[in-house]
Chains A and B, each alone.
Chain A
Amino acid sequence: MSSFSSLRIGPSSGRGRGAAGLRAAVGSRVRRVAEAAVTPLELDDVLDVFSPLRAGGPLRGRIVAVHPETRDAATIEIKPGADWAGHVPGQYVRIGIDVDGVRHWRAYSLTHGPRADGHVSITVKAVPDGHVSTHLVHGARPGTLVHLEQAAGEFVLPPESRKLLFVTAGSGITPVIGMLRNLFPSTDEGVLLPPRGADRDIVVVHVAPSQPDSIFHDDLVALDAAGAIRLVARYDDEHGVLDVGTIGDHVPDLAERRTFACGPSGMLDALDAHHQEHGLELFVEQFRTSRVEPGEGGTVTFSTSATDVEIDGATPILDAAEAAGLLMPSGCRMGICMGCVLPMREGSVRDLRNGAITTAVPGETDPRGVLVQTCVNAPAGACSIDH
């Protein structure tokens, strides 16, 4: 909406501001007439038909290429819509993509620095039974429209730090590779060492199950060979599982470096304990929030009314909430009219008709929440509902 909403200045505020004010006033009038001509649609709905990536629409992108990295990882190159505000290497983007017809949202690190062609890329590793990552790696096709949010995240290079240590495991390398590629562009002539990266002293400790499964292995080796970084690659099948407590053995000047880590929570927890013990600073990035396994019943938190209701696994949320005195939207009470639908931010519910589980994970599912029918769903563990 941003660029069009800037045109939504009222006609009075446009007066006396010269050509720009006049244009804004005319733009606002034109838009109002156009809205009146297409109601009950919004003008955006109509423009979306012809130009989904235009300025002023909801932020989207189009997949332009899929580059395989390893047998189960790929880099997805995306042309973002006109309103893409850019990003800083190390940040992530939330992507909404339809898998088997259902929209899913996931966050992925941006693995290129800002590029001349304006494209962005994410690198995805297909995780077992992760059907979004599997779809992106093996099923994503150029031309597909995806939904985007603006880049976000604090896991970015500090401009003032010279000596850095990156500790990454598995796909935890993705935000780091974005930073490294930005500092040291890779070209046909090899890795470049431009002045902006020259005064950095970077060590990368990268852990992966095996060398062929290691995303960006070749890039890391090339960066190491060019002298841009010092790579400590640790492969479980070759070197055994890395004990994070021994990180000082691999990085003798550990105390002088600022540590940035990204990877599974086990590794991050161990590193945190180690650094606390040694009084060292640590910056971490973690993608997957811990996922609650669906169970039987649980506490349902109604966020707007700040009420918690304990509900068993066989009672519809609607009935239990009403019994607890909440005024709930309701309808047929049998799952057919959709009059009781509410957004669930977090947690799992079970459809009492067929046992199907619906889960909402902040950061992974729709930012506005996953809509659930409260009349036919019981909680499957704790969940939070907007009402």
Chain B
Amino acid sequence: MTVMTKKPENPTAHLTEADVEQIGVELDAIRQSIIDDRGASDAAYIRRMVDVQRKLELGSRAVLLASAFPPAWVAGTIGLSIAKILENMEIGHNVMHGQWDWMRDPKIHSSTWEWDNASTAEGWKHSHNEVHHTYTNIVGKDNDLGYGIMRVDEDQRWIPMYLAQPLWNAINACFFEYGIAAYDLELGKNLSIPKEKRSEEFKRRARNTLTKIRKQATKDYVVNPALALPFGGFLPALAANFTANVVRNVWSHSVIMCGHFPEGVETFERKAIPDNETRGQWYVRQMLGSANISGSKAMHLMTGNLSHQIEHHLFPDLPSNRYAEIAPQVKALFDKYELRYHEAPLPQQVGSAWHKVVRLSLPNGFMTTTTPKNLPSQMKLLYGMATGGPKVRRAAQARLEQQARRIKAAKAA
């Protein structure tokens, strides 16, 4: 994939300016219909969710007191993993989006919620709600595109470091919460600044994040295992907490990869976005820059309804329990304006996203031009690109792309 405006066929070429504005009007109407209708049953939904999650977490932690006994370890770890997933996805993510602010309940409010995660609510609300949701999929503005450590678009320049990105991505999946915390702090950028020149704001946020991580680690790796100590279960309980955190991390990483990374999701060029982007234009960017996961109700719940990523990106502040209900209307709108409603089952979307991570870890055109026969010479070329300077890389890159074009043209003919 490449930024939409550089593609041979722009998927929005058939839309007139009036169409785009009309899309905005129709989507606003869908949004308003939910706002007019939300009420007691929605409030009951999120309260029940919070109640179930807390009971599941406490119950699982109680079972883990006996984690020296293997069946208790298994049951407790599964329960705790599910509880942590619900807490992060269906509750935390959505509450911090302000989806439940309309209830005016100070306990379930975007301004007061803190989640079971290494990143602070404050940091996450900035990098996610503000930066990512406003500048969705704009290369260079939306850091969610590869989280600053991966290349997920042809238009990002290839450097040798990217060869290791499938490995980074796997490690990032396991420790995703710490990756997100580092990402919220823009750690890469800030650590490259000399210590004395770092901003007070960064130092304050870094302190808050470290405090949060310390509290989280104390809970999962000290206090709760210590409570199991009288039953001989310190290490098993610690292992259970670690496992639950990794399960939660891998799961949320997978779900989040499905939202914007699968092949076919559009990215946008910074200079192609007008300064005064209209509501309609913003909506169209969200429509083409997101992908859904199809599946059962349980799947939607466990993904925090991010399986309805398209609906979520159009209406990030509507209650998550309503996305399934408006999805058919949104899909009908895509059909009406002949736009692609990107939806597939979880394994397919995860596979597609990983395929892209691997493909883009290599220079553009490398996969197209590589055959079993020319593998040795291709590997030599790659080695040269990885060890040579920028000049060598540019020259080799140009050759690769030329070859790839020729192969594609030959196939087409």
Chain A positions near chain B (C-beta within 8 angstroms)? 33, 36-41, 45-46, 49, 98-104, 331-332, 334-339, 341, 353-354, 356, 366, 368, 370-371, 373
Q: Are B223 and A37 in contact (CB under 8 A)?
A: yes
Contacts of B227 in A (CB 8 A): 37
**Of A337, A353, A368, which is within 8 A of B125 by CB?**
A337
Contacts of A40 in B (CB 8 A): 114-116, 212, 215-216
| A40-B116, A49-B54 as given contacts; A101 in contact with B133, CB under 8 Å | no
Contacts of A102 in B (CB 8 A): 39, 43, 102-104
Contacts of B223 in A (CB 8 A): 33, 36-37
Q: Are B129 and A338 in contact (CB under 8 A)?
A: yes
| A49-B51, A101-B103 as given contacts; A36 in contact with B215, CB under 8 Å | yes
Q: Are A366 and B51 in contact (CB under 8 A)?
A: no
Q: Are A337 and B134 in contact (CB under 8 A)?
A: yes
Q: Which of B254-310 contact A (CB under 8 A)?
A: 282
**Of A45, A46, A337, which is within 8 A of B129 by CB?**
A337
Pull 29 A–B residue pairs with CB atoms less than 8 Å apart, ordered by A. Answer: A36-B218, A37-B219, A37-B227, A39-B215, A40-B212, A45-B54, A46-B58, A98-B43, A100-B39, A101-B40, A102-B104, A103-B103, A331-B130, A331-B134, A332-B129, A334-B282, A335-B317, A336-B97, A336-B129, A336-B134, A336-B317, A337-B129, A337-B316, A338-B97, A339-B126, A341-B111, A354-B35, A356-B35, A366-B104
Q: Are A341 and B40 in contact (CB under 8 A)?
A: no
Classify the secondary structure of B's interface with A: helix
How many whole Å from B15's CB to the nearest CB in chain A? 21
CA distance A29 to B216 in the complex (A): 19
Contacts of A335 in B (CB 8 A): 317
Map CB proximity to A onto B66-104 as digits: 1 under 8 Å, 0 otherwise. 000000000000000000000000000000111001111
Highest count of chain A CB atoms <10 Å: which of B32, B41, B58, B223:
B223
Q: Is B224 an interface residue (CB 8 A)?
A: yes
CA distance A48 to B313 in the complex (A): 33
CA distance A331 to B133 in the complex (A): 11
CA distance A368 to B107 in the complex (A): 13
CA distance A39 to B117 in the complex (A): 10
| A33-B223, A40-B116, A371-B101 as given contacts; A338 in contact with B111, CB under 8 Å | yes
Residue of B nearest to A39 (CB): B215
| A101-B103, A337-B133 as given contacts; A39 in contact with B111, CB under 8 Å | no
Residue of B nearest to A104 (CB): B104
Q: Is B55 an interface residue (CB 8 A)?
A: yes
How many whole Å from A385's CB to the nearest CB in chain B? 14
CA distance A45 to B212 in the complex (A): 18
Map CB proximity to A onto B29-47 as digits: 1 under 8 Å, 0 otherwise. 0001001001111111000
How many whole Å from A370's CB to the nearest CB in chain B? 7
Contacts of A341 in B (CB 8 A): 98, 101, 110-111
Residue of B nearest to A331 (CB): B130
Q: Are A366 and B106 in contact (CB under 8 A)?
A: yes
Residue of B nearest to A339 (CB): B130
Q: Are A332 and B126 in contact (CB under 8 A)?
A: no
Lowest 6 A-B CB distances belong to which pairs? A101-B43, A338-B98, A337-B129, A40-B114, A100-B39, A331-B130
How many whole Å from B86's CB to the nearest CB in chain A? 14
Q: Are A332 and B218 in contact (CB under 8 A)?
A: no
Contacts of B55 in A (CB 8 A): 49
Q: Which of B40-65 contact A (CB under 8 A)?
A: 40-44, 51, 54-55, 58, 61
Highest count of chain A CB atoms <10 Å: which of B35, B96, B130:
B130
Map CB proximity to A onto B357-378 as digits: 1 under 8 Å, 0 otherwise. 0000000000000000000000
